[in-house]
Structure 1
Amino acid sequence: MSSFESVFGDSPEFVARAPGRVNLLGEHTDYNGGYVLPIAIEQQTSVSMSHSNSKQYALYSEMLDDIVYFTLGKSPTEHFATYVYGCLMEARAVGMKVPVLDIYIQSDVPMGAGLSSSAALEVATLRVLRALTGFPLDDVQIAQLAQRAEIQYAGVRCGIMDQMASSLAGTREALLLDTLTLERRLVPLPPASAVLVLDSGVVRTLATSGYNQRRTECEEAAHQLGVQSLREVHDISLADALPEPLGRRVRHIVSENARVLRAAECNNAAEFGMLMNASHTSLRDDYEVSVPQLDQLVTLLQAHPDVYGARLTGAGFGGACVALCKPESLHQISEAVLQDYSSMGLKGRILVPPHWVDRTATVGGGSAS
């Protein structure tokens, strides 16, 4: 395995890390100005930097075993490099003097699994820039710069949730975030509970078109209700006056915001789990972003006696499921559920916690299509 020293010939001057995240509750509410409840995961991205004597920035990815050279003012063509390039440009835009750098990326955040590997990369990059330059940036500003970098330079029209979670959340405390005002507070997990994330093995090939369609539907519903965003709607019965599917979309957003706020005040794992179960039902029936494989995996999780609740997490149309479980049973739950899932010709894998990934990363056969 390579290292900063083997690639660049010396030790890095500064290193910073940032975690991935999983969203416990509050799905598709962020672009409606609503509430979200993400939590950081143990897997992290590390970014190391040193001043360079070259005229070009050198960016090496350990995961891809690829090095990219670029200058500011001309974006690199390699997609992973655009996230770092965007952070450098956004930092410079707020007055940071960004020197030419050697940059090394290492990460164990699973890529393409809906755990915000991109936000972890952005936040870690901005954290190490802050350390290297001494430029004053607080953790909220880092999240805001990271979001702008992803929108402007990586071409992803993302909300602020992922970057705020990576910058501010902990692994035992979720971040209750009002995406409209950025008001926030940390919320501990209920006692005797832990988070499990399983990948369905279904690649989210429809996420982009479906995601954009849902955004458009929410905007049209808000327009018909005479509000700026669905955040302003609190009476779920107003959805009855709208044509379908707009009424269903409103029912999900209003009920999901209420679930997030209720969960934030909940100190009981069983009650929290019931809210997660209700969230999945709403995402499946009212928001229509689930697929049969996700439904099957959620059903298996919900049926396990040591699981409090489970739901799809992320945009849907494939991807992962999150469950709140008894901590002492995480290994047994994941093995039993993935074994049953594989008996249906499907292949899943453990994403969080990462402790058993090398040993039981996948169970059973089938196509991960």
Structure 2
Amino acid sequence: MKAFADVFHQAPDVVASAPGRVNLLGEHTDYQGGFVLPTAIPQQATVALARNGTDEHRVYAADLDEWAAFPVGENAQAPFARYVAGALALGGASGGLNVHVTSDVPMGAGLSSSAALEVAVLRALRRLGDLKADDEHIALVAQRAEHEFVGVQCGIMDQMASSVADTHTLLLLDTRSLERQLRPLPAGAEVLVLDSGVPRTLAGSGYNERRAQVEEAARLLGVPELRDITEVEALTGLPSPLLERARHVVTENARVLAALEEGVDAARFGTLMNASHASLRDDYAVSHPRLDELVSRLQAHPAVYGARLTGAGFGGAVVALVQAGQATAIAAEVLAGYGPEGRQVVP
């Protein structure tokens, strides 16, 4: 893999990193003002920058061995570079930059490799002195980059998790107010993440369609967002599939709040995760047969409390809450019967 000096023949001015994330509960609720419970993962995107004295940004993705170049303030043609272009433009990059990107966050796995890249670029701009922003503002700018330069109308969860979460606790985030708390994992449990080996891309999936459906459901119900609906009975009268899409959002918000109640142990938390996967599969229709198979294998394991798809769906990764100290052994047993495309990501 080529280093910064190998491709640009200079040393970087700054280097910054940001982590991917895995979401335990609260899927497809963040763009309806809901509640989410992600945590950061150890894998990170790392961005090195140096001023190049031109009016053009030059980006090299070391893992892909791909180049892109585009004028300052404009978008890139290459899809991989649009995340960088958006962050640079909206982050106020003053003049052309040489940009070197590496990442060990799996791409297409629902672990927010794009948010990690956007946040890493913005952190690098902050270190360079071009951007004055706290971590919350960085997340909001990264979300705008996704909307305006990539074309994915994502919620705020991924960027907030990448910008403010850590790998030791759960981030309880109210995506309407951006109020947040750090919460401990249930006692005696740890997080296991497995990649199904089925890649997906948000812009080419049904993600934007799902968002449009729940926005239409909220409009028909006369509320700003489905966050404002707390009873499933209030959804009566919505046409299909808007009814099913809205039911997922309402019940998913309820599951996040239930997981925070006093006395909730790992077993109860796992039950909520299992119910979340069923809702994502049946009501929101964002699962995949291979995801369902992997989740079923995990749920059948005696040392697993609960499992579900994580991220937008349509492929990608699954997350499980498992007995502390057992994650690696569980992963080996589950993957042995799944197929060579599956792999352990966390821990």
TM-score (norm 1): 0.88
1:329 to 321, 326, 329: 326
- For 1:184 and 1:330, the matched residues in 2 are separated by 28
1:292/1:85 CA distance change after superposition, 3 Å: closer
Q: Which structure has the highest helix share of the two?
A: 1
Displacement of 1:134: 6.3
Displacement of 1:172: 1.3
Displacement of 1:40: 0.7
- For 1:99 and 1:220, the matched residues in 2 are separated by 42
1:98 to 94, 103, 113: 94
Match of 1:7 in 2: 7
1:265/1:15 CA distance change after superposition, 3 Å: farther
1:209/1:149 CA distance change after superposition, 3 Å: closer
Match of 1:173 in 2: 169
Matches within 5 A, 1:1-369: 1-92=1-92, 98-133=94-129, 135-204=131-200, 208-265=204-261, 268-342=265-339, 347-353=341-347
SS of the equivalent of 2:337 reads helix
1:9/1:298 CA distance change after superposition, 3 Å: same
**Percent of residue pairs bearing the same amino acid type:** 57
Displacement of 1:203: 3.4
1:286/1:135 CA distance change after superposition, 3 Å: closer
After superposition, the C-alpha distances for 1:279-312 in whole angstroms (9 at most, x for unaligned) are 1122222222223222221111011111111011
1:102/1:33 CA distance change after superposition, 3 Å: same
Task: Point out 4+ residue stretches in structure 1 off by more than 6 angstroms.
Answer: none
1:38/1:56 CA distance change after superposition, 3 Å: same
Are 1:272 and 1:308, in contact at CA under 8 Å, matched by a contact in 2?
A: yes
Aligned positions, number: 346
Are 1:21 and 1:165, in contact at CA under 8 Å, matched by a contact in 2?
A: yes
1:155/1:248 CA distance change after superposition, 3 Å: closer
1:13/1:215 CA distance change after superposition, 3 Å: closer
SS of the equivalent of 2:147 reads helix
1:155/1:246 CA distance change after superposition, 3 Å: closer
Displacement of 1:351: 2.2
- For 2:209 and 2:130, the matched residues in 1 are separated by 43
Displacement of 1:205: 7.0
- For 2:131 and 2:313, the matched residues in 1 are separated by 38
Displacement of 1:206: 9.1
- What is the RMSD computed on CA atoms of the aligned residues? 2.0
Displacement of 1:75: 2.6
1:338/1:188 CA distance change after superposition, 3 Å: same
After superposition, the C-alpha distances for 1:305-334 in whole angstroms (9 at most, x for unaligned) are 111110111222222211011231111111
Are 2:47 and 2:124, in contact at CA under 8 Å, matched by a contact in 1?
A: yes
TM-score (norm 2): 0.93
Displacement of 1:254: 1.3
Specify every segment of 5 or more residues in structure 1 that has no aligned partner in the other structure, as ranges.
Answer: 354-369
